[in-house]
Amino acid sequence: MIDVTRRSAVGGLLIGSFAPAACSGAASSADQGSRGGRGNGLRPGRNWDGTAGSGGTAPAQSEVARGTLVPDERFIGGFSAAPGQWIHGEGIRITALGLPPQSADSSEINYFKEAVFYLEGNTVTVTDWSVNQTPVRMYDGRMAPQGSIGFSVEIGAGEGPVTAGDAILYCYLRGEHGLERRIELPLVINVDRSLDAKRPMRYVDPVDGDDSAAGTQAAPWRTIARGLTNRGVGNGGLLILTRAGRYVEDLNRLPGMGPIDNARVIEVKPAEGLRPDQVMITRTDRYLPDPRWGILARRVHFHGVTVDMSKFPRIMGVPGTQVGFFGCQLLDRERMYGERSAAGRSIGLNLFKGDPRQRDILPPLPYLGHGFYLLETLFEGAAPMAPRLYRNVTAKLTTDAFQGGPGYDDVVIDGYDAVIGEPAPIRLHLPPTLIVESVAREGQGHTAITVRDAGGLSPMKKIWDLQVRIVSGASAGPKPYQLFLADPVTRRIVVEGDLAGTLSPGDEIMCYAIFHVDFMQQGGVQRPNQRGMRNTTVFRYHAEGPTAQLFLTQGGVRLLPNSVITTNGTDFRIASPAGQNEILPDDILQLQGGGQPGEYRFVKSFDAASGSGVLLEPFSRDQTSAPVERAKTMTDFVMALSTLRKTGHGFEMGQFQHGHRNFLLAQNTFISEPNCLTFRSKLPGHGHRNHVQLFNLCTRIDADLPELPSWGLRIEHAQLLTGKPRGKFGRVREVALRFGEKQRYQPSRDLLRIGRKPLIPFDSFGNPVDADSPVGSLAV
């Protein structure tokens, strides 16, 4: 969430240039109709009839590079708005966020040139950054500026005979070099409120309502579910929650009623004057009728409500769902660190053991086939891993602040404040604790514990994040001990250290794994047909916690055994005795033998039927049946104006492990001890291409091996507070870190200055920055 008390009201009015842009597909669209500019606004053209796309055909994305700096990379960006959003009233601005790619082998910096907006036949070109001052309702009911930093345009009513209806807003993002990116956003334009009179409107009263009633104000329904069916409020309807209190949603499906494939978003809003904390969507039991809250409307936006996530372990919808939460609270405070004992002690999360009804389900929002959007929303407890948009989101007591997964594409983070108290323990057994039967000293100073009943204990061998805690007895306390071995057959657990003198039969212990709290993670990519994170735009992301890794990007997915590669320039063929491999664009192929072991290239295309494909670039020499391996990548990623801070002192602080393509970090502050960002190349398939870090402040950048990746890595105009100099214009200093109000990092005035025009002329709070500002995300 933006700290509006610290942000200056900068940016003012956006300056809109209405001159056609040279060499621009979108500029030619200006000739299709008037440009629809009203000062700094944009409205649908005269041919628009209220249906999306009727105002004119938007130009295709240009495939002609504007320069030669990075000819094969595309600008990265997205909209800071939910698709299908209603535009009620004047003054609503939509912001496009984005940054151009940067060359890995050039001292030039590619600056953003313009954003060309196209709306139903009209176009406007925006060349100046601004701070979006559109007031939005926060999760506590107060109004605050939206705060998005990017290229904004104000949406107006249609200029022709039709002034309201469905439209598609396009934006063409361009820099001085590289390929254009086109992004699009469906909207419902109701600026003059002319749709209100024709809009379906129904009411819900959880006390006096009846789902067999008509749903009118005089005869309201009892449940929200009734309004979100094919016999509910209808396409684009407004569902009013009439009174404060608990809205109990025990039935996902009502008799005789099914899903509604609504093209226009249904809005669910409390009656005027009700605060989000006064309207609670809940149910009577966490597992009735099952652990899912099923939303049957395909497109629905909830405004100003609280969702009791302790009773909804998972929110689900039909495939293609678009569900938005605007100014809402999603709360699961009791279960963040798992169930608690009668004494109030956490007994850890159970994700794998026993009947599904005995498990804690994370995350509550699924990855695949659904679109969830969080705007000005509080998320307390659990893990908000799956939304497509985070705008001014506050996350407290969370686990992974943002985690990608298979199919994670076109994600925008624009203002995300995550505070992580501690890692969540994941139990390795079904019962809360195991009872000690006997204790004996092991060799090398370790302790062997035999328990009375293994209780579904998982077989485990030592990894650093497996731990044992003594829950009852003379040695009970919060101190964890390293778990070396867990054998459910013999009921034997080996623990680091000598506990034989303090542990006694009858004492209780808990075996668990640490739920790593990672600020940014590519997870869930485990199969050949899954792609890594793509098209991810992250601005104004603030997160801190004691055990969080800043990044953890891993995607090792092996090829079939004994796979070999034969190449002819960029053409390649993969063969394996076990059958045909499945390879996706952006996968990395790394040579495991031959004359160039360790060389890696990115896949441009692949045909599984023939086993042949095309590489983005050729290996240094052609290959003949060379052993090869593969990894998944994170591609088309930008992170800017963000501060990630690890407050603890564990040794894993952040890993760039597998390939990053078109990966740009700019004007960020990454703080942790003793390391900060670590490049690892221990697994097959590792590699980076066009991985660029500009104007960042980091406590340290290092590699497990003596050298950082040398191909496609650029660290420039960055400041490292310890470690070795990295990059042509990087500089190292020993500096004591200072933290001010709310533990925000405070850069000292004598730190390295940006030294040239910054990519973004604002810090993450909207304060202007220039070449004399310190590197990192915050101005002094």
| pLDDT given at position 718 | 87
> Coil, strand or helix: which one is 764?
coil
Per-residue pLDDT tens over the stretch 390-416: 999 998 876 666 776 666 788 999 999
* 223 bridge partner residues: none
Query: Model confidence at 732, in pLDDT bands (50, 70, 90)?
Result: low
How far apart (Å, rounded) are the C-alpha atoms in residues 572 and 558? Answer: 18
Tell whether the model's pLDDT for residue 759 goes beyond 70.
yes
Higher pLDDT, 520 or 560: 560
Per-residue pLDDT tens over the stretch 100-127: 999 887 888 999 999 999 999 999 999 9
| pLDDT given at position 444 | 78
Give the length of the chain: 780
Please tell me the pTM assigned to this model: 0.89
Tell whether the model's pLDDT for residue 524 goes beyond 80.
no
Tell whether the model's pLDDT for residue 510 goes beyond 80.
yes
| pLDDT given at position 19 | 26
| pLDDT given at position 10 | 25
- Mean pLDDT for 627-640 is 92
| pLDDT given at position 26 | 35
Q: Does domain 16-196 have CATH number 2.60.40.10?
A: yes
Per-residue pLDDT tens over the stretch 420-432: 877 778 889 999 8
Tell whether the model's pLDDT for residue 768 goes beyond 70.
yes
Query: Model confidence at 18, in pLDDT bands (50, 70, 90)?
Result: very low
Tell me the backbone φ, ψ of residue 744, rounded to 5 degrees.
-75, 140
Query: Model confidence at 246, in pLDDT bands (50, 70, 90)?
Result: very high
Per-residue pLDDT tens over the stretch 329-381: 999 876 666 667 777 777 788 777 877 777 776 566 766 557 899 999 998 87
Place of tokens 């070396």: 484
| pLDDT given at position 3 | 27
CA atoms within 13 A on the CB side of 102: 26
| pLDDT given at position 154 | 97
| pLDDT given at position 353 | 80
Per-residue pLDDT tens over the stretch 500-509: 888 999 999 9
Using alpha carbons, list the distances in angstroms from residue 266 to 52, 219, 260, 723.
17, 20, 10, 54
- Mean pLDDT for 618-636 is 93
Element (H, E) at 386: none
DSSP H helices, 533-664, are none
- Mean pLDDT for 248-255 is 89
| pLDDT given at position 17 | 25
Tell whether the model's pLDDT for residue 763 goes beyond 60.
yes
Structure tokens belonging to residue 715: 């660290």
Tell whether the model's pLDDT for residue 23 goes beyond 50.
no
How far apart (Å, rounded) are the C-alpha atoms in residues 746 and 14? Answer: 30
Least confident of 12-16, 136-140, 208-212, 654-658: 12-16
Tell whether the model's pLDDT for residue 701 goes beyond 60.
yes
Tell whether the model's pLDDT for residue 563 goes beyond 60.
yes
Amino acid identity, position 438: S
How far apart (Å, rounded) are the C-alpha atoms in residues 136 and 141? Answer: 9
147 conformational bin, left if phi > 0, alpha if psi -120 to 50, beta if neither: left
Q: Does domain 427-515 have CATH number 1.10.3470?
A: no
Question: What is the number of other CB atoms lying within 10 angstroms of the CB of residue 597?
Answer: 11
- Mean pLDDT for 276-281 is 97
Structure tokens belonging to residue 345: 């002690």
| pLDDT given at position 475 | 84
Closest CA to 465 of 512, 432, 398: 512
Q: Which of the given ranges, 18-27, 162-171, 458-467, has the highest pLDDT on average?
A: 162-171
Per-residue pLDDT tens over the stretch 287-324: 777 778 889 999 999 999 999 988 887 888 777 889 99
Task: Tell me the pLDDT of the chain averaged across its residues.
Answer: 85
CB 193 within 8 A of CB 163: no
CB 71 within 8 A of CB 102: no
- Mean pLDDT for 15-29 is 29
The radius of gyration of the chain's CA atoms, rounded to the nearest angstrom, is 28
CA 206 to chain centre: 34
